Chains A and B, each alone.
Chain A
Amino acid sequence: QKEVEQDPGPLSVPEGAIVSLNCTYSNSAFQYFMWYRQYSRKGPELLMYTYSSGNKEDGRFTAQVDKSSKYISLFIRDSQPSDSATYLCAMRSGGSQGNLIFGKGTKLSVKP
């Protein structure tokens, strides 16, 4: 079993839809959870960062972490065509030097 599992999609939704992206993980030592967004032929860029369990909201984006279930989610409200990208979850254990473990990424397409 991979440490981090993420459904690769692709996921296609109409503009304005609520999008839910998810990852599961097996390593209970993970404490820091991130979502990166990657546009086509570009490098990933950090979108959301959460520590331990709970919710974090930033505009139309909400990140949720449920450590008891080893499950993280990213919700996108009022999705826009500009949200079309691949979304990668990433996580690491504690300490400042812990290396990131990435999910495979979910490709999202938001149709106008």
Chain B
Amino acid sequence: NAGVTQTPKFQVLKTGQSMTLQCAQDMNHNSMYWYRQDPGMGLRLIYYSASEGTTDKGEVPNGYNVSRLNKREFSLRLESAAPSQTSVYFCASLRYWRDPSYNEQFFGPGTRLTVL
């Protein structure tokens, strides 16, 4: 069980370049999330997918697009990178316990992105 995996671990882009961050989970979870973490800002939700085939905006969606490719994979795309998108990006998936009100997000190791 690898849990939540993310690629790449590090990336440097120039302003205007595009790239896709990949995320996969092997825990058969329905819901997946993309966050960004910036110093002094905490974790902020970019997009989430409650189930395969659905995606919704979070707190900071501008400049990003997502694709829920299948149940395992949820990718985040930057079409035209900007320095303001320099951040650490985390993917997470959600496990429900027997009681649906108790659930837990599992996070990947993160992707450190620098936009010059």
Contacts and interface: CB of A to CB of B under 8 A. Distances in A.
Q: Are A and B genuine complex partners?
A: yes
Interface of A: 6, 8, 32, 41-46, 49, 51, 88, 90, 94-97, 99-100, 102-105
B101 A41 contact: no
B87 to A, nearest CB: 14
Given A88-B42, A97-B50, A46 B104 contact: yes
Contacts of A32: 101-102
A32 B105 CA distance: 13
Nearest to A100: B105
B31 interface: yes
Interface string B98-116: 0011111111111000000
Nearest to A8: B40
A23 to B, nearest CB: 11
Contacts of A95: 101
B11 to A, nearest CB: 15
B41 interface: yes
Contact of B110 (A41, A90, A104): A41
Given A42-B109, A43-B110, A45-B107, A104 B4 contact: no
Contacts of B100: 96
Given A43-B90, A51-B102, A102 B43 contact: yes
Interface string B13-53: 00000000000000000010100000011111100101000
B102 A43 contact: no
Given A44-B43, A105-B42, A94 B101 contact: yes
B83 interface: no
Contacts of A94: 101
Contacts of A104: 40-42
Given A41-B109, A95-B101, A99-B45, 12 more contacts: A6-B42, A43-B108, A43-B109, A44-B107, A45-B107, A46-B104, A96-B96, A100-B105, A102-B43, A104-B40, A105-B42, A105-B43
A1 to B, nearest CB: 15
